[in-house]
Chains A and B, each alone.
Chain A
Amino acid sequence: MKIPLYLAVAQWTLLFAFGLLLIVVYRQLGRTLHKTDTPAPLGPAVGSKAASLEYSRFADDTVQYLTPGDGQPTLLAFVDPTCLACEKLVLALGTAERAGEFSGLRVLLLTSSPKSYLKVSDAFRTTRLECGRILAQATTQEYRATSTPLLVAIDRDGVVRAAAPAIQLAEVRTFSRACLLPPAGGESIPITPAAPQHENDLEAAAPAAGAD
């Protein structure tokens, strides 16, 4: 039996397409399995253009769009209400906000958890900072927010000026200064990221922190 030419070509093309998708899944599986051994880079690259994002604002359940580069410096905090370190960061951000250190700055708390999770943390429940849920999976991918807490400082041109885990007030201040830096090419503020604890300490501390 002779196979029509179109069918033969279509078979090979489909095989190629399936193979390509298999490689994508295989690479993702590899990343997932080796997550603890070779941690993925955290946060977007400094100097890169920050991606636009959309989030559901918890205050009024409306969808909001954030387009970095719209002229307003932005400090993004990727947090999770179930994480103790994030709670500390939110408290530090609240302290800075009350002290008026965020004037001219847009500060946004972003989480992938639903609104109902806010009640597990006093800091999240009572914060006056804008808080919302990330709507698109691509956002966490583009910002490489693979773990929380993560602070990202974006200047008025939409360029990432700093990105690292942070929880202390001093670190928050450094990030807020980074947001207000003059356009890229000028000075830079060195950010020393808060390094994760040793692996064993992480495992021991995780239940206490309420981490998954």
Chain B
Amino acid sequence: MNVLVLCAKTALACLLIVAGGAKLSDPASFASTVRLFIPVRVAWPVLSAAAVGVSLGEVAVGVASLTLPAITALDVLVFAIACAFVAVSAMGYAFHRGRSCRCFGTLFQRKFDAAGVLRSAVIAGIAAVALVHVGAAALQLDATARVLLLAAAGLLTLAAFTAARARGTGSEPEPKVVAQ
């Protein structure tokens, strides 16, 4: 059971890090998704700042959850974020069905659809599993291990950022000559 809970814990941390890192590579994309959920007209710099803030928040929570596994409050925070995902997916499905959610920036093409709501619910379920108490011995990490995990988390953020950037720039239009 411990392994299952720890798998859930680390998988969610990695998910948050990858999602945040990928979004950071193209904040303009995510800003437009943020705009869908704000009923009033908001200036572009504010939306961009909100998009960057959400992305950085995801990365921060993911990194903290990965490197500080013994802090229960972080598990609760991750669960709350997962519940927010469900709410956003459901609202997106209700009001913006078929539109791209850009949850992973340009990394994956996800849309607001029924499958998206289901995915979010599964993530919330995994977050609930991660709330289960695990013995302190299994979560004990020394300073070196923490530093290594922090480095790995940083590297994962960078890898997600780079992969999303590669996907984005790889699909930029090229001028072509067409038959007249």
Interface residues of A (CB under 8 A from B): 4-7, 9-10, 13-14, 16-18, 20-21, 24-25, 28-29, 31-32, 48-49, 51-54, 63, 65, 78, 80, 82-86, 88, 112, 135-142, 144-150, 165-168, 194-197, 201-202, 205-206, 209-212
Most-contacted residue by chain A among B10, B13, B18, B177 (CB, 10 A): B177
Most buried by B among A6, A7, A194: A6
Q: Main SS of chain B's interface residues? A: helix
**Cβ of A112: which chain B residues have Cβ within 8 Å of it?**
172-173
Cα-based distance from A196 to B29 in the complex (angstroms): 30
B residues in contact (CB < 8 Å) with A: 2-3, 6-7, 9-11, 13-14, 17-18, 25-26, 28-29, 31-32, 35-36, 44, 66, 69, 97-100, 102, 105-107, 109, 137-141, 145, 149, 152, 155-156, 159-160, 162-163, 166-180
- B172 in complex: contacting residue of A7, A28, A140, A205, CB < 8 Å: A140
Query: Are B10's CB and A28's CB within 8 A?
Result: no
Q: How far is the CA of A32 from the CA of B107 in the complex (A)?
A: 15
Nearest residue (CB) in A for B145 is A7
8 contacts between A and B (CB under 8 A): A7-B145, A9-B3, A10-B10, A18-B159, A138-B26, A146-B171, A148-B173, A194-B179
